[in-house]
Amino acid sequence: MLNRKQSPDIFNAVDFDLKLNPYQHFTLDNGTSVYTIDGGTQEVLQIEFIFYAGNWYEEKNIVAATTNYLLKNGTKNKNAFDIDEHFAFYGAYLNRNCYNETSTVTLHTLSKNLQHLLPAIAELFTESILPENELDIYKKNQIQRLKVNLKKCDFIANRLIDEYIYGIHHPYGKYTSTLDYNNLERDELLEFYNQYYTHGKCLIFIAGKLPSNIQEQLNTYFGKLPFNPNKNFTKEYHTASANSKKQFIINDENGVQGAIRIARKFPNKHHPDYTKAQVLNNILGGYFGSHLMKNIREDKGYTYGIYSYIQNHIHDTAWMISTEAGKDVCEATIEETYKEMNLLTKELISNDELALVKNYMIGNLLGTLDGPFQIMPRWRNYILSNLDENYFYNSIQTIKTISAEEIQALAKKYLNPEDFYELTVI
Amino acid sequence: MIQYNSYTLSNGLKLLVHEDTSTPMAVVDIMYNVGAKDEEKNKTGFAHLFEHLMFGGSINIPVFDEPLQRAGGENNAYTTNDLTNYYCILPAKNIETAFWLESDRMLSLAFDKKSLEVQRKVVCEEFKEHYINKPYGDIWHKMRDLAYEVHPYKWMTIGKELSHIENATMEEVKEFFFKFYQPNNAILVVAGNVETNKIIQLAEKWFGNIPSGKKYERNLPIEPKQKQAKFSEIKADVPLDAIIKTWHIDARLTKGYYAADLITEIFGGGNSSRLFQSLVKEKQLFSDITCFHFGSIEPGLLTIEGKLIKGVKMIDAEKAIEEEIEKLTTEQINNKELQKVKNRTESVITFEDISLMSRANNLALYELLGDADLINKELEKYQEITEADILQYAQTIFDKNNSNTIHYYSIQ
């Protein structure tokens, strides 16, 4: 007779011997670094061009993001429609994104079509003209989108909590206003484009089923571009955190929920506490079985979801708790959050829970090492943060061996309510 | 080509196994043939609320998540108007844990009072977060209600109103469970680093002795053909005027569906699509415009939705949309444009197949549609559509009597 009360035996995920498959590396004639992972089950690939052209390097607000956005909106020979049409015809998806330190141009394509697309991408890095009329349309539409977003409590909360932590002049803390868009000048964009794209530093990451002559193809189209692989990027910013730690803002009188953000500063990935803190973070609010989720969603029903996470920044970062809760229960949600933090400093977590969290984290990691499209983002993250595979293996070792006492000590060090900024936006 | 083996248990549970030894993981996906369309009109939102309750403990296992997390796995679920899908992903070595958990909640829930009380609140917060506390959040409630007269696509998965969820009783929960959560109303897909024979053994072991229930016979009201264009208006505290228009399209497995899907791409697929190029870039009447549909199993809606540039009049914006429709319904598209949207579709299908989860999920979906093998025939169906088909279906879809329009005005 089947005993349904008895769980089947499990293989402890912590006993998995996790391996991070390596990438291949080569350089183009102009010194540009290329990282590749060949493989996968489908005949597709993803190629990502990463430039050191994030908002870290702009002199004026939103110049970096606008330049990135307009990259494919016109070159000397093609207008925006021609460019989009070319990629679309081959069923390819060309996206661009701007982050803090870096900005990217990413292509997803069937492997068979790569050769038709590479020259069109290369053109974007030297021949883009960032046309004035495209800039005008962009400004107008972005201002409209901003107006809609400013009605959302979560959007406001995300902007403000970053400002409180890093300061409005720090790349991680600043945000955009209508005025910033209106003040954009094409000349400034062209200057930024010339310095940080055409003559900038570019890294290339490719994952998927690669053609055998990939090195040759890349060299043909990108190996002669005037990139500066050795460009030195030193620009320092200091954080200027807010003085007042508690804020309550009414953005919408008729709002039925509040966006709550509770956050503290936290060091970067090179700090010895970083991985240990990831374990503590999981216990606090990092997964569905976390203390915050169990108490505030699954016991009290105050919210659809509450999460904590450490922001994925290259420089010093922040540890954040984030939720949207019913208007009447915002205060209670904040109170319960501190209660859970406090409990972690007062009581050792049980061996049973610790074992569960470790298995969960390792099992999850195993899932993210599955196939080139999963592995590449991890490598990219390491390379951009100046880390290597030791970081990966040390992290695993930390997860496998961390004790309840160490977790409590970390909680005492990092989960003090007085270190946290607290914001509610209705 | 997605390979799989199929097997049916004596209680009617359908099993599909997709072997992929390139991954250390496995996915266990159970799709129940019940969605918001199976709800009564005064008890909407129930299928989705129920999905939440499926995590509140089953007859022999007090909590669902913990044992799975202990096995290195995680899970989630979603509900649509057509179906409810539950999936676990975990190291393949621990796959039996997922069988144990999923089979117990198919056998019976614990029907815990506290779980019902809490999840009612959680779902109400979900409702608020996505549909009340967001600008334009009510647009689809209004549109579904306008477009459908009798078909249960008239309401959204989250429910028509908060009170339907707030008033859900344990009696109703039980009734719902025993009506729909039966082995003969479900599809089990196992994908990943697994062997079919072992999976069949596990399925027999854990699901084999769950008694099959009374077969659910779906008997939904049929939406009569729309005979007249319908209009509605909303005035709300939003920053921009918006317009949303929908047209009834054919059911999922018909040729008309594939044509409608390609038409959606022609109009709204990326920055070289017709609506973006003409209305955002050239005429600059909209800051955003999209064209999409939900992939509904029964006759669904093709949608054009856009936000007007401040100062543009509703009548002019709408006229510009109509001009694009006029073009598509009078001039046959050229081969290059058709090839473009087919190529984009091929890409999307191929990229979707990278993810093990997505392969498992799609196998379940096509089996639910009647034949898992359709997963390998989708692309062909798109390839068969000709320029003339696009013209003909565009004319049928964009018949002016088939349209529903909401003018959404900003009052600030």
Which of A:161-180 have CB within 8 Å of B? none
Which of B:181-210 have CB within 8 Å of A? 205-206, 209
Could you tell me the pLDDT band of residue A279, with boundaries at 50, 70 and 90?
A: very high
CB within 8 A of A370, min separation 6: which ones?
A: B23, B24, B25, B356
In 3D, which of A54, A57, A33, A36 has the Cα closest to residue A46?
A: A36
Average pLDDT, chain B: 96
Among B72, B91, B100, whose Cβ lies nearest the Cβ of A7?
Answer: B100
**Candidates A283, A288, A295, partner chain B, best to mutate (most B CBs within 10 A):** A288
In 3D, which of B98, B102, B118, B120 has the Cα closest to residue B48?
A: B120
* Closest Cα in chain A, distance from residue B206 (Å): 8
Edge-to-edge strands of the sheet including A303-310?
A: A246-249, A421-425, A257-266, A317-326, A303-310
Give me the mean pLDDT over the B113-134 stretch: 91
pLDDT at A208: 95
**Among B207, B238, B272, where does a domain finish?**
B207
Check CB contact under 8 Å for B284 and A140.
yes
Chain A environment of B78 (Cβ under 8 Å): none
B195 and B240, same domain (yes or no):
no
Q: What is the pLDDT of residues A214-241, one digit of tens each?
A: 999 999 999 999 999 988 777 889 888 8
In a domain, B223, yes or no: no
Same fold, A24-222 and A246-425: yes
The token pair at A249 is: 């803002």
Cα–Cα distance for residue pair B195/A162, rounded to 1 Å: 49
pLDDT at A234: 77
Q: Is A131 on the interface with B (CB under 8 A)?
A: no
Q: What is the pLDDT of residues A380-406, one digit of tens each?
A: 999 999 999 999 999 999 999 999 999
Buried (b) or exposed (e) across A38-56, using 16+ Cβ within 10 A? bebbbebbbbbbbbbbbbb
B145 and B245, same domain (yes or no):
no
Check CB contact under 8 Å for A144 and B240.
yes
Among B24, B120, B347, whose Cβ lies nearest the Cβ of A370?
Answer: B24
Q: Is B113 on the interface with A (CB under 8 A)?
A: no
**Candidates A6, A12, A41, A71, partner chain B, best to mutate (most B CBs within 10 A):** A41
Could you tell me the pLDDT band of residue B133, with boundaries at 50, 70 and 90?
A: confident
**Among B172, B207, B242, where does a domain finish?**
B207
Q: Which residue has the tokens 């969960």?
A: A360
Chain B environment of A150 (Cβ under 8 Å): 239
Chain B environment of A256 (Cβ under 8 Å): 128, 132-133
Check CB contact under 8 Å for A257 and B270.
no
Cα–Cα distance for residue pair B217/A181, rounded to 1 Å: 57
Check CB contact under 8 Å for B281 and A93.
no
Check CB contact under 8 Å for A301 and B340.
no
pLDDT at A109: 96
Q: Which residue of A has its CA nearest to B410?
A: A148
The conformational region for residue B270 under phi > 0 = left, psi -120 to 50 = alpha, else beta, is: left
pLDDT at A232: 78
In a domain, B212, yes or no: no
B351 and B291, same domain (yes or no):
yes
Which of A:198-237 have CB within 8 Å of B? none
Check CB contact under 8 Å for A367 and B25.
yes
Could you tell me the pTM of the whole model?
0.94
Q: Is A253 on the interface with B (CB under 8 A)?
A: no
Q: Which contacts of B119-122 are long-range, i.e. CB under 8 A and separated by 24 or more positions?
A: B119/A301, B119/B49, B119/B52, B119/B53, B119/B56, B120/A301, B120/B49, B120/B165, B120/B166, B120/B168, B121/A300, B121/A301, B121/A302, B122/A297, B122/A298, B122/A301, B122/A303, B122/A304, B122/B52
Q: What is the pLDDT of residues B242-254, one digit of tens each?
A: 999 999 999 999 9
B178 and B235, same domain (yes or no):
no
pLDDT at A235: 85
In 3D, which of A314, A315, A316, A296 has the Cα closest to residue A306?
A: A296
Q: What is the pLDDT of residues B308-342, one digit of tens each?
A: 999 999 999 999 999 999 999 999 999 999 999 99
In a domain, B262, yes or no: yes
Angle between helices A330-346 and A404-414 (to 10 degrees): 130
B32 and B174, same domain (yes or no):
yes
pLDDT at A42: 86
Which of B:4-23 have CB within 8 Å of A? 20, 22-23
* Closest Cα in chain B, distance from residue A28 (Å): 28
B185 and B333, same domain (yes or no):
no
B195 and B243, same domain (yes or no):
no
Q: What percent of chain A has pLDDT over 90?
A: 93
B101 and B143, same domain (yes or no):
yes
B374 and B275, same domain (yes or no):
yes
Q: Give, in order, the Cα–Cα distances in Å from A347 to each of A147, A344, B67, B71.
A: 46, 6, 23, 25
Q: Is B392 on the interface with A (CB under 8 A)?
A: no
Chain B environment of A84 (Cβ under 8 Å): 270-272
Chain A environment of B94 (Cβ under 8 Å): 10-11, 13, 363
* Closest Cα in chain A, distance from residue B367 (Å): 22
Which of B:205-234 have CB within 8 Å of A? 205-206, 209
**Candidates A73, A354, A360, partner chain B, best to mutate (most B CBs within 10 A):** A360
Q: What is the pLDDT of residues A349-386, one digit of tens each?
A: 999 999 999 999 999 999 888 889 999 999 999 999 99
**Candidates B237, B271, B346, partner chain A, best to mutate (most A CBs within 10 A):** B271
Q: What is the CATH classification number for the domain harbouring B16?
A: 3.30.830.10
Q: Is B166 on the interface with A (CB under 8 A)?
A: no
Give the other-Cβ count within 10 Å of A372's Cβ: 23
Could you tell me the pLDDT band of residue B412, with boundaries at 50, 70 and 90?
A: confident
DSSP assignments along A346-399, one per residue: HSPPPHHHHHHHHHHHHHHHHHTTSSHHHHHHHHHHHHHTT--HHHHHHHHHHH
pLDDT at A112: 93
* Closest Cα in chain A, distance from residue B29 (Å): 16
B203 and B238, same domain (yes or no):
no
Q: Is B281 on the interface with A (CB under 8 A)?
A: yes
Which of A:384-413 have CB within 8 Å of B? none
Where in the sequence is the domain holding B310, given as residue range(s)? 230-410
DSSP assignments along B138-177, one per residue: THHHHHHHHH-SSSGGGS-TT-S-HHHHHT--HHHHHHHH
pLDDT at A243: 86
Q: What are the structural domain ranges in chain A? A: 24-222, 246-425
**Candidates A366, A375, A425, partner chain B, best to mutate (most B CBs within 10 A):** A366
B247 and B353, same domain (yes or no):
yes
Chain A environment of B317 (Cβ under 8 Å): none
In a domain, B300, yes or no: yes
Architecture of the domain whose range is A246-425: 2-Layer Sandwich (3.30)
A153 near A327, Cβ under 8 Å? no
Check CB contact under 8 Å for A91 and B310.
no
- What ipTM is given for this predicted complex? 0.92
Q: Is A88 on the interface with B (CB under 8 A)?
A: yes
Check CB contact under 8 Å for B272 and A153.
no
Check CB contact under 8 Å for B281 and A137.
yes
Please give the CATH number for the structural domain made up of A24-222: 3.30.830.10
Give me the mean pLDDT over the B383-396 stretch: 98
B134 and B178, same domain (yes or no):
yes
Give me the mean pLDDT over the B339-361 stretch: 94
pLDDT at A166: 96
In 3D, which of A227, A208, A51 has the Cα closest to residue A114?
A: A208
Total number of domains constituting chain B: 2
Q: What is the pLDDT of residues A10-24, one digit of tens each?
A: 999 888 989 999 999
Check CB contact under 8 Å for B347 and A4.
no
Give me the mean pLDDT over the B12-18 stretch: 98
Chain A environment of B104 (Cβ under 8 Å): 4
- Comparing A105-109, A229-233, A295-299, B313-317, the range with the smallest average pLDDT is A229-233
Q: Is A324 on the interface with B (CB under 8 A)?
A: yes
Q: Are strands A103-110 and A93-98 parallel, antiparallel or unpaired?
A: antiparallel
**Among B207, B240, B257, where does a domain finish?**
B207
* Closest Cα in chain B, distance from residue A225 (Å): 27
pLDDT at B331: 97
Check CB contact under 8 Å for A42 and B287.
no
- Strand, coil or helix: B31: strand
- Chains A–B, number of C-beta pairs less than 8 Å apart: 212
Q: Is B238 on the interface with A (CB under 8 A)?
A: yes
Give the other-Cβ count within 10 Å of A179's Cβ: 9
Apex A269 CA angle, A267 and A270, nearest 5:
90
Among A10, A109, A326, whose Cβ lies nearest the Cβ of B125?
Answer: A326
Check CB contact under 8 Å for B91 and A363.
yes
HEC profile of B190-259: EEECCCHHHHHHHHHHHHCCCCCCCCCCCCCCCCCCCCCCEEEEEEECCCCCEEEEEEECCCCCCHHHHH
